[in-house]
Amino acid sequence: MNEAEYFLERTEQSLDDFHDWLAGLGQSWGLSRTMVLEINLIIEELYTNCIKYGGGPDSGPVRVALARSSTEVQILIEDRGPPFDPLKVQPPDLIQPMEERQAGGLGLHLVRHFADSCGYARRSGKNILRLTKVIGCG
């Protein structure tokens, strides 16, 4: 089992730095480019969600922990914002015509699509999201 963690600060630059870090990690863990992009997407969406609905700068950074086994990558995202379970958010209506559709709300839809499993818990004043991605043969 390989493990790594990263603290995402609540600043604009932090996602860029994280992207570079994750690309390097993906390479040393032997993950495909698509796999890395999808993990990046899951984490970006949940991180921006923490920033949007979570606490201010006082809540500190968002912690991302990754673990790779031979069959999957586990993603853990922890923040100290107010209790919020993003997995309970109503999915957007994708079959509405463009004129009636809302521009937003897609982030969590993408997370649900690309994660093979996801779960939420509130523990010790923290929102804890656990997701997994199965490593395919592709």
Partner 1 sequence: MKIIERDSNDYLTIQICGRLDSGTAGELEAWTGTFIPNPAHPLVIDFAELDYISSAGLRVMFNFARELKGSGVRFAVCRCQDHVREIFEISGFDTFIPLYASPEAFVAQ
Catalog residues that contact partner 1 under the rule CB under 8 A. Answer: 12-13, 15-16, 19, 34, 37-38, 40-41, 44-45, 48, 94-95, 97-99, 101, 103-104, 106-107, 109-110, 113
| CB 59, min distance to partner 1, A | 18
* Residue pair 88/82 in contact by the 8 Å Cβ criterion: no
CA–CA dist 87, 19 (Å, integer): 24
Cα–Cα distance, 97 to 114 (Å, whole number): 24
Considering beta carbons, is residue 44 or 79 the nearer one to partner 1?
A: 44
- φ, ψ of residue 71 to 5 degrees: the values are -115, -20
Least separation in angstroms between CB 50 and partner 1: 12
Rounded Cα–Cα distance for residues 59 and 57 (Å): 5
Nearer to partner 1, 34 or 69 (CB): 34
Q: 95 vs 137, which CB is nearer to partner 1? A: 95
For partner 1, which is the closer residue by CB, 67 or 87? 87
Nearest distance in Å: CB 38, partner 1: 8
Closest contact distance (angstroms) between CB of 39 and partner 1 is 12
Smallest CA-to-CA distance from 62 within 108, 21, 10 is with 10
Q: Using the structure block, give the residue that is written with the tokens 């949007």.
A: 52
